[in-house]
Amino acid sequence: MVTVRVKSGISQFHLNSSARFAFACAQIESEEKHLEWPQPRWDEARSNALAAVLLAAASLESSVNEFYQQAVDRDRDALKSLSETQMKLLAELWPEIEKRSPVRKHQVALVAMGHEPMSKGQEPYRSANGLNSLRNALIHFRPEWDDDLKVHRSLEKELSQLFPASALADRAKGQMAWFPLKCLGAGCAEWAIESAVRFSQQFVNTLGIRERLRRVTT
């Protein structure tokens, strides 16, 4: 009698779900961007963008966690370009870096495998790190006075040039905070997905392993 054991991953499902929310957000913006703010589905659009960002960030973290677990399990099918010694090293590193950021986990793996880490000042590192910053700001949100912005202003400086603000928020009159209001739109949702995918693709291309995150049409 043969017993088959399976471990299921969730990183691609996170990414696919993120794409569905991003598509829904883009549809709302397309249909209502000509209307005065607040548009009928303003909150719905922001909810979709929020979900897309969090799920894109989750896909990147799940993917790298699955990568290390495959090394622990000595999964030669998934990591066929890596030697037994390399997988053993990754398995030894895993308990030490398990609680580090997803970006850091990727960088440590690259260095451990004898490669240069991705340049922090360039893409795709810049956007992937920005995605992690945005995710943390949303999950660990702390309100700030609009005339004394600190963390929120720093986040705006880091990210506002990487994607366009919400097309619905552009119709608002008067002052509106970039974070967490103007930033959560279709542009942000799409950027979050592309950031996760590009970063993951450079990682797997450098290591010569099987593709981990791929963009699918909704």
**Chain CA centroid to CA 140, Å:** 16
pLDDT digits (tens, 9 = 90+) for 120-172: 989 999 999 999 999 999 999 999 998 899 999 999 999 999 999 999 999 99
pLDDT digits (tens, 9 = 90+) for 52-106: 999 999 999 999 999 999 999 999 989 999 999 999 999 999 999 999 999 999 9
Query: Confidence band (pLDDT; 50, 70, 90) for 22?
Result: very high
Q: State in Å, rounded, how far the first CA of the chain is from the last one.
A: 41
Domain boundary assignment for the chain: 11-207
Q: Is the whole-model pTM more than 0.85? A: yes
Sign of the torsion angle spanned by Cα atoms 60, 25, 172, 165: positive
Q: What is the CA radius of gyration of the chain?
A: 19
Sign of the torsion angle spanned by Cα atoms 99, 140, 103, 51: positive
Query: Confidence band (pLDDT; 50, 70, 90) for 216?
Result: confident
pLDDT digits (tens, 9 = 90+) for 157-210: 999 999 999 999 999 988 899 999 999 999 999 999 999 999 999 999 999 999
Q: Is the peptide bond before 95 cis (omega within 30 degrees of 0)?
A: no
